[in-house]
A and B are shown apart, each in its own frame.
Chain A
Amino acid sequence: MATKEIKRYKSKPFDCWKLAKEIRANHYREIAESRTEGGKKLLIGGGTESMIGLPAGLGDYVFFGGEPYSASFSAGSPQGAVECMEATESYGLARDLCSYFRNYVGSLLLNKYYFGGPFPKADFYLQTHFCDTHGKWYQLVSEMVGVPYFSTDLVPYRWDETEEGKKQKLEFLSGQLLDAIEWMEKTTGREYQDELLIEAVKNEMRSTSLWAQCAQLNQNIPAAMDEKSMYSFYILAVLMRHKPEVVRFYEILLDEMKDRVANQIAAVPTERFRLLHDSQPPWYALHIFRYLEKFGVACVGANYEYGLSGGWDYKEGEYLRPAKPLQDQGWPLKTREDACRALAYWWLEYHVLARGIRFSGPGKNNLVMKEIKDWNCDGLMIHLNRGCEGLATGQMEIRLALTEAGIPVMTYEGNVGDPREFDEPRTLARIDAFMESVGLDMIED
């Protein structure tokens, strides 16, 4: 629990942080360049919690994921994000819809790409029904742009899923992935190369497993990664987990994490209280995490950035650990069918965040309690996030379960992408009151 002594750890920025930024910047540049005159690269749009690697068999392409794009926009240009939201609302869409969706559609309507130039319109859209918004988002966008659209249905395992239920859901999803490939072949006229898909699927599993290993190392006291650094790192799995350069990046990061842990290099030099965060952050106000650090509080992670791209092997009451890539578990990966089955299994079995979006109650509460325990957290900070209904599922139940277990919880209201729904002075006042209640004064003013 919280300690009052102020011990100072060694601290330094991550060596690989610049590389992460470079990889991300290159990705967004690639998207823009695919639309320039003479650009031959296929541009595929959709949600990143989706089949971003499935088109690998088509050859040269880049996947333009909507959610991280919207997050970047909100973080980098809150006023610009508001303009996008207003454009979406003027178009006739409700203000209480997912703010990632509103930001993206607004960008399209204004023909404004956050990274410069006109908004890149995809050749087609591909989507998994990761959440209820995703179920309609890219359908609407494909109609607006006038290009084809294909979606698959994703039914996550329940917390208490039966073996028969798992079998049915796996068959359902892997069958749809095969259908998606056939559809892409017909839509593009390109020949699909199965070996490229197999490579992409292996990379996806490797990347997400490596990121989970990095996240697991943050259980160490002091935490080597702070919340803001984590956002720069997790995003690569979200954007491009199927690519070899992302696998390579996470190998580099893992080495650096091991070194930091071995040498007690802290993200927050005055770490004396550890918080787990719940839900996405308010992207335009990430400085609230720096504010926490003034009290010696390290926000050591969240189910969100740890688990958004899957890769966790979870058995309630027993373990939460990085999943082993299926190629390392002896799964056959020789054919298109093998690859689709492996990908479907990887998502269903190891994507605990996807389960939490659909199913709350004791199952989700227990997962959060496990995270609190394993990451040596003293409390939980819940973003009551009006911009994402999925991640808001069951938050107040979690709050109740934790407070009944004697774990301090603070909540603050906001919106992942819409700055209009966030009251910074009040949020900082909440933090002040919470810090007071757990006996922490500000160390630095």
Chain B
Amino acid sequence: MITAGIDMGAKTIKVVILKDGQIIGRGNVFSGFETRESAEEALRLALDEAGLTLKDIQTIYATGAGRKEAPHAVNDITEVGADARGIFNLFPKVRTLIDVGAEEGRGIKCSAEGKVIDFVVNEKCAAGAGSFTESMARALEVSLEDFGKISLTSNKEIPMNAQCAVFAESEVVSLIHAKTPKADIAKSVHDAIASRIISMVRRVGIDQEVALIGGVAYNVGFVDALKRGLESDVIIPENPEYIGALGAALAAAENTN
């Protein structure tokens, strides 16, 4: 059986192709303005990697903020449901799942059967999402990759307003003018984001094991801050940004005769 999952994310569209439960193809494209075209492109990349054509796919499910717009999808599931399915497939012992994407951060409490027991999302607040880290990296004039790395070289604790991305950016500007080293500012920002995420996830309770998915999982500075804040280790699957798409593909497989 071959199924596919399309995660129509706010910033990027990810596709996963599954064959008998194994991932055989992936695609990742910026969402842009024409999301349907971007989804077609992501699907094409995944099909190329898998060596398949669209006709070979039996069922496609979608997830993500734009899931209703996904081409070729016969059904859709929410990001919360997709994330839980995806992580359960890879790490069935995860009980607390943290997903930090471009526009949203989510905390999901999972049962031993991989079902969603409870969930929480940062609503309008951007301070717990990937776009916040990007704007902070821009403020420091470093690449996103370096932004995470340099924060690991600091051991200072500089309190930062964790409540609002706009206020945090003005604080960064003030710190720059005060000649604060970039590394210290970067660490402070990551600590603030992690703090925001952790306090949100505490609403659903934090039980081991804890996993982190979403594009922000690549940010080593954020991961370090999250582990320190949780005082525990965190599982980060390979290709963490694809877990939602994987969950959608799995849902497609479950519902295909």
Within residues 377 to 424 of chain A, which ones have a CB less than 8 A from any CB in chain B? 396, 399-400, 403, 408-409, 411-413, 423
> Nearest 10 pairs between A and B by C-beta?
A433-B78, A433-B80, A437-B116, A413-B123, A436-B81, A432-B78, A436-B78, A403-B118, A423-B124, A433-B119
Which chain A residue lies CB-closest to B117?
A: A437
User: Given A433-B80, A437-B116, A437-B117, 11 more contacts at CB 8 Å?
Assistant: A396-B203, A400-B203, A403-B118, A403-B205, A408-B118, A423-B124, A429-B79, A430-B121, A433-B116, A437-B118, A437-B119
Asked whether A373 is an interface residue with its Cβ less than 8 Å from the other chain, the reply is no
* A374 smallest CB distance to B (angstroms): 24
A423 to B104, CA, bound (A): 14
List the B side residues contacting A433 at CB < 8 Å: 78-81, 116, 119
**Contact in complex: A437, B81 (CB < 8 Å):** yes
List the B side residues contacting A426 at CB < 8 Å: 121, 123-124
A411 to B123, CA, bound (A): 10
Interface size on A, residues (CB 8 A): 17
Which residue numbers of B lie inside 8 Å of A, CB to CB?
65, 77-81, 115-121, 123-124, 203-205
List the B side residues contacting A411 at CB < 8 Å: 120
Among A400, A413, A423, A429, the residue within 8 A (CB) of B78 is: A429
List the A side residues contacting B120 at CB < 8 Å: 411
Which chain A residue lies CB-closest to B78?
A: A433
**Contact in complex: A437, B115 (CB < 8 Å):** yes
A437 to B79, CA, bound (A): 11
27 of the cross-chain contacts (CB-CB < 8 Å) are A396-B203, A399-B203, A403-B118, A403-B204, A403-B205, A408-B118, A409-B118, A411-B120, A412-B123, A413-B123, A413-B124, A423-B124, A426-B121, A426-B124, A429-B65, A429-B78, A430-B121, A433-B78, A433-B79, A433-B80, A433-B81, A436-B77, A436-B78, A436-B80, A437-B81, A437-B117, A437-B118
Pick the most buried of A399, A400, A413, A436: most chain B CB atoms within 10 A of its CB: A436
Which residue numbers of A lie inside 8 Å of B, CB to CB?
396, 399-400, 403, 408-409, 411-413, 423, 426, 429-430, 432-433, 436-437
A187 to B246, CA, bound (A): 72
A-B contact number at CB 8 A: 40
**Contact in complex: B80, A437 (CB < 8 Å):** yes
A432 to B63, CA, bound (A): 12
Which chain B residue lies CB-closest to A409?
A: B118
* B10 smallest CB distance to A (angstroms): 11
* A123 smallest CB distance to B (angstroms): 42
A430 to B65, CA, bound (A): 11
List the A side residues contacting B119 at CB < 8 Å: 433, 437
* B251 smallest CB distance to A (angstroms): 10
List the B side residues contacting A396 at CB < 8 Å: 203
A430 to B123, CA, bound (A): 10
A437 to B77, CA, bound (A): 11
* B192 smallest CB distance to A (angstroms): 21
* A230 smallest CB distance to B (angstroms): 26
